[in-house]
Amino acid sequence: MVAYGGELAWADGFASAELFQRYWPKLVRSCAIEALARPSTHEPAALPDAQPFLGPLEGTVLTEVEPGVYRWRQVREGRYVELALEALAPAEVLLHWVKMARTR
């Protein structure tokens, strides 16, 4: 999870430590660039805010499927976006999940 000041902004989940290790450098760069674009604040994020942030969204859903290969799902609700990428073969596996608070 990533917070800027006291605002939770981003959460990622990966199917494996190996997949996370491959994305880690990109995630750090993205977080650093986003932090530079936000106002400076020293307010800490609170752990109790994490559970509601991680909850599922119930807004507009877009889905793209390549049968037998992958399923991509996007849910938008208010200023939040949740994305999920699943492998469909040889078994259904959630590869990557991300939830973001949009700034615009």
Residue 40, pLDDT score: 75
Q: How many domains in the chain?
A: 1
pLDDT band at residue 48, thresholds of 50, 70 and 90? confident
pLDDT band at residue 104, thresholds of 50, 70 and 90? low
pLDDT band at residue 70, thresholds of 50, 70 and 90? very high
Cα distance between residue 76 and residue 74, in whole Å: 7
Closest CA to 14 of 3, 27, 31: 27
Which structural domain range is residue 92 located in?
A: 2-101
Q: Which residues contact 86 (CB under 8 A, 6 or more apart)?
A: 70, 71, 72, 73, 92, 93, 94, 95
